[in-house]
Structure 1
Amino acid sequence: MKRHNIFAGAKRALKAMTLAGVLCTGALVVQPAMADVAQSGDVVKVRMGGDASQTRIVIELGKSVAGQVVTREGETSRQVIALPDIDLGDAMSGQGQGLVKDWRIDNVAGSTRLKLNFKSGAKIYRRFLLPPADGISVYRYVIDVVPQNTDISTPKVAPVPVIPTTVQSQTQLAATKMRTKKIVVIDAGHGGKDPGALGGNTYEKDVNLAAAKALRDALTRTGRYTVIMTRDTDSFVDLAARVRIARSADADLFISLHSDAGGNGDTSGASIYTLSDSGTERAARKALVKGDWSLADGASTDAMVNRILIDLTQRATKNRSATFAQLVMDNISESTPLLKTNLRQAGLFVLLAPDVPAVLLEMGFVNNAKDEAMLNDSRHRAIMMGQVAKAIDLYFANNVQYASFAGLN
C-alpha cells in the first residue's frame, strides 16, 4: 500500500527522483564554471554546471544544512536561499553558467545566504543534500535551476548528474527511477569522529557498518529493492542528514543499525525501537514548519487541517513501524538472543520522519563478551541480516495483501 495516500501526485514523483538524479550517467557533467574560490568558514567550494535548459549548483559544506528559500515563490530574476547555522568568513562570489548569471554567498543580518542572479527568467526545480561518502569528506547541497516556463509537475526523464562517488551508489540510485522496487534506506549508526560505544576491542561504528553492508547485500540479491545507505564508509553523517536522505529518496522503509552498551557487561540481547509519543509530537512540530521536514508544500492554508493531515500520516507511519519491528524480532530470534523487553519506544532523532516507517535495531551489546563475539562474526552477521531481509520481505508482502483487501471493500 502506498504510504503517501494523502500527498500522492507530483511531490512523490519529484522526491523519488531527487537521489536518482544525483549519480546517473548522462551527457551533462558538472564542471567548475569558475576558478576555485578559497574556503570560507563552513563553505568549502561552489561548483556549477549545465546549460540554458537546466543548471546545477553544488555547494560543498563542512556540515549539514537545511536550506530555505527566502524570496517569494514567483520570483524569476533571482533567488535567495538561507543556509542556517553555516558559518562564513569572507563573502564568496563568482560568475555563473547556463541559466545563472552570477552568485554570491555572504552574511545578511547575521545569517549566511546564497544569492543566485539569473540571466533570464528561471526557477528552482529541486534542492537536496548529499552526505559525505566513499572518500568525500564534505556535504553537498545541490540546487537545480530550470527556465521559468518549464513544467515541473512531472519529473524530467534525464536529470542532471553529478560526478559519481561510488559504483555501488550509481547502481542503487539508477534503480530509484523504477518505482516497481521498494526503496529501503539502511543507516549504519555513528561513524567517523563519532565511534559510538566501545566493547572489549570493538568500536560500535565498525560493527554497525559491517552489518549494514551485510543487509545491503542480502536485499540486493533479491532484486526487489533499491537500497540506499546513509554511509558506506567510516564517515560522519549527522542525525538530521540521515533523516533527510530517507525523505529525499522517498523511502518506503528506514532501518538504523546500532550496537548497545551499558551496565557491567552482563546484559546481552537485541532490541528494537520505534518512535514514542513524545517523539511523535516533536516530529509533528517539525512537519508544520515549511521546509524539508514538511509533509507537503501548500497542502492547506488552514493550520488545523494541516495538523490533522500530519496526525493521520503519523498514525499510519507508526503502525507500519510497529508492524515491521515485530517482524524483525520474530525473525532474528532464530539466531540472536533478545532482551526480555525487546520492543521499545523512544524519541530518537533518526525515527522522526513523519511519513517514513522507521526502526532502530540494537543488534546486541558490544560490552558483553558473548554479544561482541557474535557481532564481529561475519557468519553470524550474514545470518542475522538475512533474517532482517526476510522480515522486510514479509513487511512489504503484508502491505500488498492489506491494500488488496482494502480495494475489495
Structure 2
Amino acid sequence: MLATGVLGAGVCSAPAVLAAPVNASGDVVKVRLGGDATQTRIVIELDRAVDAKVVTRDSETTQQIIALPDVEVGKALSGTGMGLIADWKVESIAGSTRLKLNFKGQGKIYRRFLLPPADGISVYRYVVDIVPGNADTAVEKPSPVPVIAAPASGKTQMASNTSRKKVIVIDAGHGGKDPGALGGNSYEKDVNLAAARTLKASLEKTGRYTVIMTRETDSFVDLPARVRIARNANADLFISLHSDAGGNGETRGASIYTLSDSGTERAARKALVKGDWSLPDMPQSDAVVSRILIDLTQRATKNRSATFAQLVMDHISASTPLLKTNLRQAGLFVLLAPDVPAVLLEMGFVNNKEDEAMLSDPRHREIMMGQVARAIDVYFANEVRYASFAGLP
C-alpha cells in the first residue's frame, strides 16, 4: 500500500512508500521510495526523458552514483532513505546532475529503467531497484527494459508489442440452466450468444486477433470460470455481452460497465491469494509489496477498460439507442481480473419491444458488432504496451 498525505487521493495508508515533493525549479518533479530490506525502489519523476548512466563501479557496495544527462535541478535535493537506502541526493556538480545513493550496509543496483508518460501520468519515471550486496541476481535478473527517449519533435516514442495477434475473449452472458432476462419472444442467453458469434466472425475477418469464446453453445459456465478463461489465455481484452431488463418495459438503450472501486478492492483481495487470481511474479513473502504491485496493475487495467468503454459507446451510438447514463461502474464478477481490461456491454433491453426487435435482427446485430469490432481496432491502434511495472504511478 502507498502512503497517504504525500502521494494524494486514492492511495492506501501504509509505511511502504515515502515521497519527497520537489519545488518545480528544474526537471525533477518528485522523488519516491518504496520497499524494504529485501528490495528497495527509488523513483525519480522527471519532466523529460533521460538516458542515465551509472558512473561508479559495480563492485562498489556502499553507494552508487548515477549521472542524469540533460536533467536540470535548481538546487540540491536530498532525503532520508528506507529499506536498503540510507539516504539519497540529487545535485548538480560541474554542470552535471547526479543521483547519489548511500546504502545501509551493502547494496547494489538490481535493475533500472525509464517509463514514459502513460495512463493519465504526465511525467517520466526513472526507476532504480536496489538489492542486498550479497544477493545472487545472475539468474533472476531480467533482460533490460529499453530506455525510451523523446525525439526532437517532442513526441514520445513508445514501445509496443505488435509481434503477436491480440487475444480477445468474448463472453456471451448467461447460458444453459441460466437463461438470463426474458423478452417477449426471446431469452437473453440466446441473444447474447448470437451477438458473441457475430462479433467473433467480425474480428476474425481482420486477421489481427485470436478470439476465444467463454461459451460457444447453450451451456452454463460459472462466473469464476469465465474470468479464468481470460487470464489463462493471457487476454488483451475481455468483453462480456448482455441484454438488460427492468421496469415496465418502456426503458431502452445500451450501456456499458467497468469495474467500480468496491469491485477493485474485491479483486485485490482475490489477487493476494495463490491460484487462478494471483498475479505472476508477485512476492508472496511481503504482503505490503504485493498489495502495491496489485494496486499499480489495477490502476492501469481500469484506465484501459474505461478508455475502451468510451470507444464502444462512441461507435455503437450511430446505430443503437443509448441510455442517458450509459457509462457505468459496478463490482461485477466478470470484471474482477486485475490484469485484463474488461467491460460488460448491455446491448439493450430485451424486455423492450423495440430493443428486442433490434437485438434479434441479424442485420442490426451485424452492424452493431461491426461497430464494436471497429472500437477494438481503434483501442489497439492507440494502445501502448510496456514492460514490467507498466502501472507504476
| TM bin (shorter chain) | 0.5 to 0.7
Residue 300 of structure 1, CA deviation: 4.7
Partner secondary structure for residue 232 of structure 1: coil
Residue number in structure 1 paired with 2:126: none
State whether structure 2 residue 242 is matched by structure 1 residue 258.
yes
**Shift of residue 279, structure 1, vs aligned partner:** 0.2
Instruction: Report which of the two has the higher share of helix.
Output: 1
Of the candidates 311, 320, 332, which is equivalent to residue 316 of structure 2?
A: 332
- The unaligned stretches of length 5 or more in structure 2 are 1-161
Give, in angstroms, the shift of residue 298 of structure 1: 4.7
* Equivalent in the alignment of 1:13: none
Alpha carbons 1:317, 1:355 under 8 Å: kept: yes
Normalising by the residue count of structure 2, what TM-score does the alignment of the two structures yield? 0.56
Following the alignment from structure 1 to structure 2, what is the Cα–Cα distance between the partners of residues 328 and 298? 33
Identify the residue that residue 157 of structure 2 maps to in structure 1.
none
Change (3 A) 1:295 1:179: farther
Q: Does 2:367 match 1:383?
A: yes
String of CA shifts for 1:151-184, please: whole Å, max 9, x gaps.
xxxxxxxxxxxxxxxxxxxxxxxxxxx9610000
What's the counterpart of residue 205 of structure 1?
Answer: 189
Contact 2:175 2:189 in 1 (8 A): yes
- Residues 231-289 of structure 1 show CA distances to partners (whole Å, capped at 9, x for unaligned) of 00000000000000000000000000000000000000000000000000000000001
Where 1:278 maps in the other structure, the secondary structure is helix
Q: 2:169 aligns to what?
A: 185
Q: Distance in 1 between matches of 2:231 and 2:302?
A: 16
- Residue aligning to 2:51: none
Secondary structure, aligned partner of 1:251 = coil
8 Å CA contact 1:197–1:203 kept in 2: the answer is yes
Q: May I ask how many residue pairs the two structures share in their alignment?
A: 229
Q: Deviations over 1:17-45 (max 9, x none)?
A: xxxxxxxxxxxxxxxxxxxxxxxxxxxxx
Q: Which residue of 1 aligns with 2:285?
A: 301
1:368 matched to which residue of 2?
352
Q: Tell me the CA shift for residue 292 of structure 1.
A: 1.2
What is the aligned-residue identity percentage? 84
> Could you tell me which residue of structure 2 aligns to residue 194 of structure 1?
178
Q: Which residue in 2 is equivalent to 1:128? A: none
Match of 1:284 among 265, 268, 282: 268
Aligned equivalent of 2:307, options 304, 320, 323: 323
Moved runs in structure 1, 4+ residues, more than 6 A?
none
Measure the CA separation in 2 of the matches of 1:394 and 1:318.
18
CA displacement at 1:400 relative to structure 2: 3.9
User: In structure 1, how many angstroms separate the alpha carbons of the residues matched to 2:336 and 2:178?
Assistant: 21
Distance 2:191 2:262 in 1: 29
User: Following superposition of structure 1 onto structure 2, how do residues 58-97 of structure 1 map, counting pairs within 5 Å?
Assistant: none
Name 1:358's counterpart in structure 2: 342
Q: How has the CA–CA distance of structure 1 residues 399 and 391 changed in structure 2, closer, same or farther, with 3 Å as cutoff?
A: same
Please give the root-mean-square deviation of Cα atoms over the aligned residues, in Å: 2.1
Matched-pair contact (CA < 8 Å) for 1:290–1:297: no
Structure 1 distance, partners of 2:284, 2:226, is 28
CA distance in 2, matches of 1:298, 1:341: 38
Q: How does 1:46-65 map to 2 (within 5 A)?
A: none
Match of 1:225 in 2: 209
Is 1:396–2:377 an aligned residue pair?
A: no
Q: Which has the higher contact order (CA 8 A, sep 6+)?
A: 1
1:85-116 per-residue CA deviation (whole Å, 9 max, x = no partner) reads xxxxxxxxxxxxxxxxxxxxxxxxxxxxxxxx
The residue aligned with 2:333 is: 349
The 2-side partners of 1:273 and 1:380 are apart by 22
**1:26-37 matches, cutoff 5 A:** none
Cα offsets for 1:205-230 (capped at 9, x unmatched): 00000000000000000000000000
Match of 1:237 among 221, 244, 252: 221
1:365 and 1:225 map into 2 onto residues whose CA distance is 29
CA 1:381–1:264: 2 relative to 1, 3 Å: same
| Deviation for aligned residue 1:334 | 0.4
**Deviation of 1:362 (Å):** 0.1
Structure with the greater alpha carbon radius of gyration:
2
Q: Secondary structure at the match of 1:290?
A: coil
